[in-house]
Chains A and B, each alone.
Chain A
Amino acid sequence: MSCHGADFCLTVQQEAPIPLDATFSCTGGQLLALVGPSGSGKSTLLRMIAGLSRPAAGQIICGDSRWYDQAQGICLSPQERHVGFVPQHYGLFPHMTALGNVLAGLHHLPAEKREPCAREWLVRVHLAGLEQRRPAQLSGGQQQRVALARALAREPSMLLLDEPFAAVDRATRETLYVELAELKRELALPIIMVTHDLGEALLLADRMTLLSHGKTLQSGQPREMLARPVNEAAARLLGIRNLFDGELLRHDQQAGLTWFRSGEHLLACELDPRWSPGSRVRWMVPNSGIRLRAAGQGSLPESHNRLHITVTNLLPLGDEVRITASFAGQELPLHLLVPFRLAQKLDLRVGSATDVVLLESALCIL
């Protein structure tokens, strides 16, 4: 197995203790987010990459180095893999200062170069002046920066981040997002980040791998995955709530459309010849593919997919309003998330009737 152009690739299979069947790859300068619910095996896979846990079968390759190959009996130790690893609670040594923690990872350097290097990294992560503080004397964000400095000072072959923002407050998280995005640009390393926060993955990741029960469901660019989930399980993990049944009617090659029926509605999506007419299908539409207007106001884009809906519930959530609406011929409601100001402007309230358009380009048969 080669990595086919990627700097890092992994294929892991095992039945016990945690069933895993995962494949993904990552190139230098790219951030790959492993996304999935709790218990999906994300952290286990990260530990396997670091060499802290051994899979039953598979291969893990980084650059020219084969870290694990069950067939060839290769399994390098964490020390030999030379990874930068930031665990969920940072794994800082509590009896050492911030400087001591960074120095702890620098034994591969000649003694006289260690301290200047550690100090330089602490400056780089904006911790100048806090070198002599112990982890307990640092805030969550500062601790995370020390852990990051320690991981990067080792000049690792790749960087592994296990839920790096889970233990910090929202304001700190926003700052750390920006810093990580900047670091990613500067470093030419493959970076793998485990997260259960889809928003975080969309914000930071160049690529994303969806995991469920230890299995890779889908890999790709986050926006593409959100627009085209491979199956219903992936769609649900991506937070898509608008999933409905339908019956495929025909393919219109000339117009580049596939027509299907859902409830009383005749709907069209971009040509998708995977199913033959008469097939029962599941279809979905992400929130970004829904346009709405209050009755008698505004205009809607030209589309074949115009639905008349009635708002059944409105739930303000911060800057947004979660709307549930019914439409003719469907038992399941349509879910929309609209900016609070827009909901106010359109005077949406329970019982309001309005028209929505489902964009053909966003509508997707699973």
Chain B
Amino acid sequence: MDWPALVLSLQLGGLTVLLLLPFAIIVGRWLAYRHFSGKSLLEAMLALPLVLPPTVVGYYLLTGLGGSSLIGQWWERFFGHPLVFHFSGLLLASLIVNIPFAVQPINRAFETIPQELRDAAACCGMGFWRTLFTVELPLAWPGVLTGMVLTFAHTLGEFGVVLMVGGNIPGETRTVAIAIYDRVQAFDFNAAGNMSLLLLVLSLVVLAVAGGWARPSGRRHVLPRR
């Protein structure tokens, strides 16, 4: 069992969820309530990582964040280490790849909140933040939770993008998924099997707990008709 790889995967998943959540709430809400020209194009761009092969996303991230790119050069000058083949690059890639997994469920959850409730909140004297925290987020909570779980589970299992952007550096960029691949390459099927089983159980538990957590609140708060 490659414990450092598991810890790294959990760190990567946790940080991705933590950093992506505010962005996903802001963008998901904005897309739910604002109508503007080019909205469909923007939604399609945000959903791209869902349909593109991970190697294609990985290739563009590698060239876009690599040492010869503007971002890569700026990063190296500012932080003293390259972005690619480093945990920070892996995290940035993970944030980008997980945008649709976080944004889409949250966006759908905000869309289900009737306009009438937001009108009522405004007429109750609630400003933007009070409406967000006392009305919208409690009602969109199942969608927010789904977004968080999908992001975390997807990060644990991500392989192609991680390999392209981070490589396989133990303790730095080697995640459980990479470690499993590494063990199979070395014909260590016992270790690969143990890690695969752990990943399977972990993902299943996370999904089941989150599903059970979100569902009762969804039943309890019956949203009124639009």
Residues of A within 8 A of B (CB): 47, 50-52, 77-79, 82-85, 87-95, 104-105, 107-108, 134-136, 147, 150-151, 154
In the complex, A62→B49 CA distance in Å? 53
Which residues of chain A have C-beta atoms less than 8 A from B122's C-beta? 50-52, 77-79
Residues of B within 8 A of A (CB): 114, 116-117, 119-127, 130, 134-135, 138-139, 217, 220-225
Contacting residue for B116 out of A91, A107, A154, CB 8 A: A91
In the complex, A147→B138 CA distance in Å? 20
Contacting residue for A95 out of B120, B126, B138, CB 8 A: B138
In the complex, A49→B173 CA distance in Å? 58
In the complex, A83→B124 CA distance in Å? 8
Residue contact A93 to B116, C-beta cutoff 8 Å: no
Contacting residue for B225 out of A78, A89, A107, A151, CB 8 A: A89
Chain B residue nearest in CB terms to A104: B124
- Contacts A92-B120, A95-B138 given; does A154 touch B125 at CB 8 Å: yes
Residue contact B125 to A87, C-beta cutoff 8 Å: no
Residue contact A94 to B224, C-beta cutoff 8 Å: yes
Which residues of chain B have C-beta atoms less than 8 A from A92's C-beta? 120, 224
- Closest CB of chain B to A68's CB: distance in Å? 15
Residue among A50, A90, A95, A147 with max Cβ neighbours from chain B (10 Å): A95
Residue contact A87 to B124, C-beta cutoff 8 Å: no
* Among all A-B residue pairs, the 6 with the closest Cβ atoms: A91-B120, A105-B124, A85-B123, A78-B122, A94-B221, A91-B116
Residue contact A89 to B116, C-beta cutoff 8 Å: yes
- Closest CB of chain A to B70's CB: distance in Å? 42
19 pairs, A vs B, C-beta closer than 8 Å: A51-B122, A79-B122, A79-B126, A85-B120, A85-B123, A89-B114, A90-B224, A91-B114, A93-B117, A94-B139, A94-B221, A94-B224, A95-B217, A95-B221, A105-B124, A107-B124, A107-B126, A108-B125, A135-B224
Residue contact A89 to B124, C-beta cutoff 8 Å: no
Which residues of chain B have C-beta atoms less than 8 A from A108's C-beta? 125
Which residues of chain B have C-beta atoms less than 8 A from A95's C-beta? 138-139, 217, 220-221
- Contacts A82-B125, A95-B138, A95-B139 given; does A87 touch B223 at CB 8 Å: no
In the complex, A105→B123 CA distance in Å? 8
In the complex, A105→B114 CA distance in Å? 18
Seed contacts A78-B119, A95-B221, A105-B124; 19 additional CB < 8 Å A-B pairs: A47-B119, A51-B122, A79-B125, A83-B123, A84-B123, A92-B224, A93-B120, A93-B121, A93-B135, A93-B139, A94-B223, A94-B224, A95-B138, A104-B121, A107-B130, A108-B125, A150-B120, A151-B123, A154-B125
- Closest CB of chain B to A136's CB: distance in Å? 4
Which residues of chain B have C-beta atoms less than 8 A from A151's C-beta? 123
- Closest CB of chain A to B118's CB: distance in Å? 9
In the complex, A107→B123 CA distance in Å? 12
